[in-house]
Amino acid sequence: MQRYYFDHNATTPVSPEVFAAMAPVMTEVYGNASSIHHFGQDARRMLDAARREVAEMIGARAEEIIFTSGGTEADNLALFAAGGEGHTITAAAEHPAVLEACVQLSNSTVVPVDGKGVVNPDDIRRAIQPDTRLISVMHVNNELGVIQPVDDIAAVARETGVRFHSDGVQAAGRIPVDVAGMDFYSISAHKIYGPKGVGALFVRKGTGVHPRLFGGPHERKIRAGTENVAGAVGMGRAAQWVRKEGAEDAARQGVMRDRLEKGILQRVPDAHVNGAGAPRVGNTSNMRFDGIDSEPLLIALDLRGFAVSSGSACSSGATEPSHVLAAIGLNKQQAKSSVRFSLGRSNTAEQVDALIEAVVQVVAQLRKLAPAYA
């Protein structure tokens, strides 16, 4: 049976060019990048080259890139290093790496999003207090694909003297990114066809932060620990691909995403696109199918060879609605009827058409078994 992957927002496969760049590093360039001998300096040169590639992808300078273990650490580093001593503002549809970190902070405010999942910059402005130290609003929502007005929010931050962090994990590689106006920006390698276990935090030069890991002078004394050189090289190669070919492939994915939504909406009654009408990245579609739960839909599609994901998460043994879908006003049943399709480099129009056909058939079958829908 053929299997097709439509869950690229969860993770992407390591691309051939990334694997080719990493393989010799893992076997031949094994020195510690902090060592002064030949082996260490070879590793240092490759680490520095990777840092430049990552910086160029987001319009930063190499010295402003701090390598981390991934997007979660980058988010936490920004929040605790910059916002931990005062009031922090974030939004209701943020990734748990931000929301759960804010729970640990002594003072934070969560502003709402509208029915499309978009943050109103005026709500951010109204939430600012005398001791506000940090605003954290994601660039692209991981479930809806909605693009937040980060430039407008950054302007509010500058006007009020508050530092601004954006989680760009789902933005890099899907839309152009320029960190001008931001103080912190998080990215992750495994969302752009790089390896898992490596990410980066942009920290604007001159922005004071307190380190969260101690033990050595690594990464501008902000993040102690021997650097993952092979992972950084893989991320650098992935960033290089994004700069050279990412825009063209993102446009191709946007065409396919529109084809997917149009095909499903035309053939499946009572189907809806969550976040429709807001600016969205071209690879993501979160769709709701009234009358059925997403879990059996996901299982049925998987049995037919299609990997997609749900807007729900399991907590304490019970399936709870996605906090993102709740934030845009969906009730529990509507949220549990939603599925996310996220396209990537490997997907083709033929795969999209096959997925449409599978969704049409599976939804019809499940609705026959759903008394609520009948």
Tell me the catalytic residues: 314
| Rounded Cα gap, residues 138 and 186, in angstroms | 9
Q: What's the CATH class of domain 16-242?
A: alpha beta
Ranges of beta strands (E only) in 85-183 are: 87-91, 108-111, 132-136, 163-167
Residue 321 has what pLDDT? Answer: 85
Per-residue pLDDT of the chain (374 residues; tens, 9 = 90+): 899 999 999 999 999 999 999 999 999 999 989 889 998 899 999 999 999 999 999 999 999 999 999 999 999 999 998 756 789 999 999 999 999 999 999 899 999 999 999 999 999 999 999 999 999 999 999 999 999 999 999 999 999 999 999 999 999 999 999 999 999 999 999 999 999 999 999 999 988 888 878 888 888 888 888 899 999 999 999 999 999 999 999 999 999 999 999 999 999 999 999 999 999 999 999 999 999 999 999 999 999 999 999 854 433 344 678 999 999 999 999 999 999 999 999 999 999 999 999 999 999 999 998 776 66
Q: What is the pLDDT of residue 44?
A: 94
CATH architecture, domain 4-11+246-368: Alpha-Beta Complex (3.90)
Dmax (CA) for the chain in angstroms is 73
Residue 60's identity, in one-letter code, is A
How many beta carbons lie within 10 A of that of residue 313, not counting itself? 11
Assess contact for 240 and 193: CB atoms under 8 A: no
Q: In 3-state terms, what secondary structure has residue 152? A: helix
Q: For 203, which DSSP code?
A: E
Task: Give domain limits for the chain.
Answer: 4-11+246-368, 16-242
pTM over cut 0.85: yes
Q: What does residue 56 show for φ and ψ, rounded to 5 degrees?
A: -65, -30
Q: Name the strand (E) or helix (H) holding 122.
A: helix 121-127
| CA–CA separation, 357 and 15 (whole Å) | 28
Compute the CA torsion angle 248, 253, 255, 259 (nearest 10 deg). 170
CA 324 to chain centre: 14
Please say whether the beta carbons of 79 and 132 come within 8 A.
no
**What pLDDT score was predicted for residue 312?**
41
Report residue 230 as tokens. Answer: 């092979």
